[in-house]
Amino acid sequence: MLRTSVSDILHHAKRIKASPNANVPTGLWATPTWNRDEFWRWFLRSVNAKINANDPRQVSQGRYTSDRYQQDLLRDQRTVIAYTFGRVRNTGCRGLLLTAHAQRTYPHINNQVEA
């Protein structure tokens, strides 16, 4: 079942659901037929791969998944927690938060200059 139309896949899925002992032809030399468990394992893996194919979060070098960005998020998290729960104040400091999201969310923490 390397390349199969959607209607064929749905036909086989309905057939397997109706009779659990049915086999599905694969078109492969090594395993010409699949039982119910093998078919469902392949079906769910294929659906998952199709859903995640164009997902920008899956890009390893994306904007939000780079190691540097994750380190900056961790530092921002620690700064916000220290400000909120530990009452740590950095008076006279600007630019304490590194990520743009944290700077937008917590402007009072990012700019602690006393007036």
Domain range holding 77?
67-110
Instruction: Report if residue 59 sits inside a domain.
Output: no
Q: Model-level pTM?
A: 0.44
Asked if 49 and 78 sit in the same domain, the reply is: no
Asked if 16 and 44 sit in the same domain, the reply is: yes
What pLDDT is attached to residue 21?
86
What pLDDT is attached to residue 23?
83
How many domains is the chain built from? 2
Instruction: Report if residue 87 sits inside a domain.
Output: yes
Return per-residue pLDDT of the chain as tens, 115 residues: 556 677 777 888 888 888 878 888 777 766 788 888 888 888 888 877 777 676 665 555 556 767 888 899 999 999 999 888 888 777 767 778 888 888 889 888 877 766 5
What pLDDT is attached to residue 114?
64
Joined together, the tokens standing for residue 19 give 């009779």
Q: Say if residues 82 and 112 touch (Cβ distance below 8 Å).
A: no
Asked if 10 and 50 sit in the same domain, the reply is: yes
Instruction: Report if residue 91 sits inside a domain.
Output: yes
